[in-house]
Structure 1
């Protein structure tokens, strides 16, 4: 099983390789039998430690929405939408303007959410373009993060 430090290394490598500003993994940290408590368990490219105070429930925040739907969510121009800043606390505290959040599925169940974001620019038009999900799933870093999630 991978250690937290190893997950951090993979997230750092992913952020650099993809040329994005932020990469994070949100996961349920609640004890078995308790209501889900989704937290950002590891991040790379963070501006501070405020992300650690974010607590989400299923269906709330971008990670909670991805958890509920099991689908990828992509949002642009978040900073210019006050409602989105309220809905997406990770975008607010990390000043992210574009995010894409992927469900990490183990046996067809969401076990974590991988969020990739930029503070400026646009995923589709910047030179820091984000790979499509198929390309991301083939990356070594993505698969190492998924292994870490599966081992928890």
Structure 2
């Protein structure tokens, strides 16, 4: 709801990408690499040109901290649609900015931006990060959804 207006008209949200290298968060990486440690987040690095590949190789060859895993562009873009498509401008964007102006950003964050099932989402996220509790959470979600 708070992207810049240019994001809704972006001519760069497509493949092939414009720069030599594109950096992004790799949203949904666990679906494609379930054993990967995502506790500190995972970066997506797209090497778009020969120069980009050369730069990356030079950095990677001199680093013992970079762990990389090749991925498909279709996987990487599944939960990062801005790689392929410009953002859709929400109908309520102007209203949200008016609320921010009148009520303050913090107020809008805790009301407008917070999911209706926020507490459940927080619990689910925490429990899924704990391997021991993962099975309990899966069972609990089935009970909540199906009443069984």
Q: Report the structure, 1 or 2, having the larger helix content.
A: 2
Superposition TM-score tier, normalisation by shorter sequence: under 0.3
When Rg is computed on C-alpha atoms for both structures, the one with the higher figure is: 2
Normalised by the length of structure 1, the TM-score is 0.26
| Bigger strand fraction | 1
